[in-house]
Chains A and B, each alone.
Chain A
Amino acid sequence: MSVPRGAVHAKWIVGKVIGTKMQKTAKVRVTRLVLDPYLLKFFNKRKTYFAHDPLQQCMVGDIVLLKALPERRSKHVKHELAEIVFKVGNVIDPITGKPCAGTRFLENLSDSENLTEADTTYLSEKLQELKVCSTEK
Chain B
Amino acid sequence: MPMKGRFPIRRTLQYLSQGDVIFKSSVKVMTVNYNTAGELSEGARKFVFFNIPQIQYKNPWVQIMLFRNMTPSPFVRFYLDNGEQVLVDIEDKTHKEINEHIKKILGKSKEMLEKEERERKKLSHPATFGPKKYHLRECMCEIEGQVPCPAFVPLPKEMRGKYKAAMNKEE
Contacts and interface: CB of A to CB of B under 8 A. Distances in A.
Nearest to B15: A40
Contacts of A96: 73
A103 B75 contact: no
A33 B51 CA distance: 13
A93 B72 contact: yes
B37 A103 contact: yes
Interface string B1-44: 00000000001110010000000000011010001011000000
Contact of A40 (B16, B63, B69): B16
Contacts of B12: 40
Given A42-B56, A91-B71, A31 B81 contact: no
A35 B35 CA distance: 24
Contacts of A86: 67, 70
B63 A32 contact: yes
B44 to A, nearest CB: 13
B70 A11 contact: no
Interface residues of B, number: 31
Q: B-side binding surface: helix, strand, loop or mixed?
A: mixed
B148 to A, nearest CB: 37
Contact of B11 (A40, A67, A85, A104): A40
Contact of A14 (B56, B57, B63, B70): B63
B79 interface: yes
Contact of B57 (A12, A13, A35, A100): A35
Interface in A84-116: 85-86, 91, 93-96, 100, 102-105
A39 interface: yes
B62 to A, nearest CB: 9
A102 B69 contact: yes
A36 to B, nearest CB: 9
A26 interface: no
13 contacts: A10-B63, A12-B29, A13-B28, A14-B29, A14-B31, A30-B63, A32-B64, A35-B57, A42-B53, A65-B29, A91-B70, A95-B89, A103-B69
Interface of B: 11-13, 16, 28-29, 31, 35, 37-38, 52-53, 56-57, 63-65, 67, 69-73, 75, 77, 79, 81, 83, 87, 89, 91
Given A33-B56, A41-B11, A102-B70, 12 more contacts: A10-B63, A11-B28, A14-B29, A14-B79, A40-B11, A40-B16, A67-B83, A91-B70, A91-B71, A94-B77, A96-B73, A103-B72
